[in-house]
Amino acid sequence: MLMIERSIRHFILAGLAALFAVSAAVHGAAQPMDVFEVRDVAVDVTAETATKARELALIEGRKLAFRRLLERLTLRIEHQGLPDLGAEEIAAYVNDFSVAEEKTSAVRYLARLNFRFKHEEIRGLLNDLGFSFAETVSKPVLVLAVFQNAGALILWDEPNPWRDAWAARPARQGLVPTLMPLGDLKDIAAIGAEQAMDGDLQRLNVISRRYGASDSLVVFGVLRVDAAQSRRVLEVYFTRYGKQLREQTEVMSFSQKENETVGGLLARAAEELTFVVEDNWKRDNIMQFERTGVIAAVVPITRLKDWLDVRARLAGVAVVRRAEMVLLSRSEVRVNLHFIGDRDQLALALEQSDLRLFEEGGQWRLGLAGAQPKGKS
């Protein structure tokens, strides 16, 4: 009887843990990221006094945050050419900063700092220096890591060292936040390895929605032996399914380095592919300041709050430069959207803020994603 009670208690606790984990993932996904804010910059400086150590730490923190911001916005191939500015020059681009946590001694200062940078000044710097960059933050992407072992496809079963490598990646604050599924019974029922490999959109959508993700990234890895070099080679096939502009399967190979373990090889590949996914997203969302357009759209409303919600979301869309209200009535708002880039980029950027732009009856309509068009059931 005691063993049964313990089993029941364990099952309930495990279920609650899974529920809270999913809730946390969905809640975290809903929080909008300020693309010009860099958080959790760790500093640890020792100097003659605590005051001097803090002063030097803030300089170091600004420099680290500035570099991380520029790398977040630009393509990886251009990172080596990013400007190396002095402390005073960087300070001119900082809007403000906050201290998340700090510790001090007589000669030492440790802290985690958050910096917010000036939007227009950063854009001007990158434009003046000729860098291509993106600002649109993707909705979270769910990673499904399928591994081939002894001819069998593994997604949820253990061991799956490929999935472990993805789960152990260092935390990033890039433009494409990623989520790892729990691998519990609901996940197992939602999709299997073969269905993920086949790109079963219905099942991919089901498991993505569970975690508040918009897209799913299926990464299939298989280890082979390079007999000539006496080393392992990891072949990876990866596809992002969702609403991004490009949907194609890409293939990459990673050769084992000297004295590198298989685990190290898998970890290196997972981190490298994270950069590739980021760069693909950035290329689809490059800010094209030389291309501008205006779309006259109708926003259906039932109350003023509907329009205020849409307007607040528009303010967070990087490619929308201005939303000019032309007419406000009880049932609709007519607005001119001034944007940069092309219409596909505009629609994709709007979707990341849960806004849907579509054509109906010869006119453009704008509304919250998931809302039924007027007159449709």
**What distance in Å separates the CA atoms of residue 145 and residue 91, rounded to the nearest whole number?**
42
The per-residue pLDDT for 1 is 40
Residues 205/207/211/212 CA torsion (nearest 10 deg): 10
CA distances from 340 to 30, 80, 122 (A): 25, 27, 17
Helices 119-128 and 50-73 meet at what angle, rounded to 10?
60
Task: Note the pLDDT tens digit of each residue in 206-223.
Answer: 999 999 998 999 999 999
Angstrom CA distances, 291 to 35, 299, 339, 371, stand at: 22, 24, 9, 30
- How would you write 106-169 as a 3-class SS string? CCEEEEEEEEEECHHHHHHHHHHCCCCEECCCCCCEEEEEEEEECCEEECCCCCCHHHHHHHCC
d(CA 356, CA 354): 7
**Residues in the chain where the model's pLDDT stays below 50:** 1-31, 373-377
Provide the pLDDT for residue 32. Answer: 59
Q: At 72, which helix (H) or strand (E)?
A: helix 50-73
pLDDT at 247: 65
* Tokens encoding 234: 């990891």
| pLDDT for the residue 221 | 96
DSSP per-residue letters across 22-44: HHHHHHHHHSPP-TTEEEEEEEE
Largest CA distance in the chain: 74
Nearest CA to 320 out of 276, 350, 297, 299 is that of: 350
Q: Where are the alpha helices (DSSP H) in 172-261?
A: 185-190, 193-197, 201-210
